[in-house]
Amino acid sequence: MRSRTFVVTIALTVLTGILAYSALSARLERALDDMAEAERDGPGRNVEEHENEVPLGTEHAAADEVVEALEERELSKQAALVSFGIYFNDISHINFVEGTFHINAYVWMNWDPTRFLPPGSTPEDERKGLPRAPCDTFGFVDAFELAIEPVIKEPGYAQFRVIGSIRQEFKLDRFPLDRHVLRISIEDEEHADHILRFEPDVRNSGTNDFRITGWKHERPIASTYTRLYDTNFGDRSLPTGDESFFSGITFEIPIRQVRLAYFVKLTCGLFISTLLALISLVVAHYGVDRLGFPVGALFAVVASQWVVGEALPPRAPPTIADWLHVISFGVILAVMLVNVRSLLVLEAGDPERSKAIDRRWFWIIGPSWLGVCILVCVLA
């Protein structure tokens, strides 16, 4: 009986190892390549221009409908081009709970002064036949407590200091092994894209050599887009009638957690607590309250789950950290049931069988727990 149990345990352990290796090998290789590439590139200061992401669309229109609408219309070749650049001094205070991050940057724009009114003109001045200057009509998408202070405003050129917070929805399903792309989008709030179109000032844009605590940032990426709104906002001068298209430009900064330091810091107590619950299966019943091990581990896992919850929005989707806690709860419950069964067998007068039950389930639950945790981290 013991030899059969030992063979089954070894078979399960080997099977778990094979599954974990098959799932991990390719992903680990890609992760190591990404780390090596990031180390070679460093934080980076250049801005790369991507192809136009046309369109970003809206929540009210399906992506295929937006693409079809854009393909059916022709952008006016008379639209004035506005070169837009940005230089990041600092990015900080990445807040998952509020969905915000803080930026400190300079932005500037260049345009043909003969195509627009001088800076500071009022909407009434547009009756002269020219639109207002883009430095008077641009805005940041999803701005939150953002201060835009003009530094220079003259015909054809303007520069601003931007300090404040931007709202963004973060994808947190892989927390705390997550990666994100911080997006700063700018649109003209008054002129449709048949009047004005943005283009990135790639040559002069970039970043200071700043550091984001707990994160490593990569080189920024610049891209332009056209956003479709399912309304013309009551402006009958827009050629599309019931739709309006506005030009925009986006600067993206990819960020990732600094190696595994934060993961270890966040889950160390969780793994130690679960391991202590497992250790109860190798401790003799005599003179020790073995049921206290999993009970104490249960409270520790609950505390760990509360700490993780404080770093995430209340209604965030399940994350890697959440699934690891669920697995630990299941392991602790299984250990508790094994302890109860073993204790009943011992009280029935069969200590050898009680020890066999403990050993068997220790080697079944332990490797299975580690294998499932690895699979969750890799496949989530």
My answer on whether 354 and 237 are in the same domain is no
Q: Which residues contact 41 (CB under 8 A, 6 or more apart)?
A: 218, 219
Q: List, for residues 53-95, the tens digit of each pLDDT value.
A: 433 233 434 444 444 444 445 555 578 999 999 999 999 999 9
Answer yes or no: do 53 and 137 share one domain. yes
65 shares a domain with 147: yes
Q: Which of 257, 287, 314 is the last residue of a domain?
A: 257
The two tokens of residue 23 are 């799932």
Nearest CA to 249 out of 188, 192, 159 is that of: 188
Tell me: pLDDT of 43 over 90.
Answer: no
Report the mean per-residue pLDDT for the chain.
Answer: 81
Q: Show which of 257, 290, 312 is a domain's final residue.
A: 257
Specify whether 129 is located in the same domain as 9: no
pLDDT of residue 63: 43
160 shares its domain with 250:
yes
Count of domains forming the chain: 2
SS3 195: coil
- In this structure, the answer to whether residues 102 and 220 fall within a common structural domain is yes
Backbone angles phi, psi at 272, to 5 degrees: -65, -40
Residue 90 CA, distance from chain mean position: 19
Task: Show Cβ contacts of residue 328 under 8 Å, excluding neighbours closer than 6 positions.
Answer: 270, 273, 274, 297, 301, 369
> How confident is the model over 10-40, as pLDDT tens digits?
555 555 555 455 444 555 455 445 544 444 4
Q: Which range among 5-19, 92-106, 193-207, 243-257 shows the weakest confidence by mean pLDDT?
A: 5-19
Q: Which amino acid is at 370?
A: L
Q: Do 28 and 106 share a domain, yes or no?
A: no
pLDDT band at 49 (very low <50, low <70, confident <90, very high): very low
313 and 223 both lie in a single domain: no
**Residues whose CB is less than 8 angstroms from the CB of residue 120 and which lie 6 or more positions away in sequence, other chains included:** 133, 136, 153
- Regarding whether 340 and 251 lie in a shared domain, the answer is no
* Identity of the residue numbered 109: M
Q: Which of 261, 378, 281, 373 is nearest to 328 (CA)?
A: 373
**Domain check: are 271 and 226 in the same one?**
no
CATH number at residue 78: 2.70.170.10
For 355, phi then psi, to 5°, come to -65, -40
pLDDT for the residue 289: 81
Domain boundaries, position 233:
45-257
What is the average pLDDT across 338-355?
Answer: 91
Whether residue 325 sits in one domain with residue 216: no
Task: Give the model's pLDDT for residue 231.
Answer: 75
pLDDT at residue number 29: 52
Angle (deg, nearest 10), helices 261-279 and 320-347: 10
Is the same domain home to 284 and 156? Answer: no
Separation between Cα atoms, residue 145 and residue 250, nearest integer Å: 19
- Whether the link from the prior residue into 294 is cis, omega within 30° of 0, is no
- Widest CA span in the chain: 102
Last residue of a domain, one of 230, 257, 284: 257
Residues 126-166 pLDDT 10s: 666 788 999 999 999 999 889 999 999 999 999 999 999 99
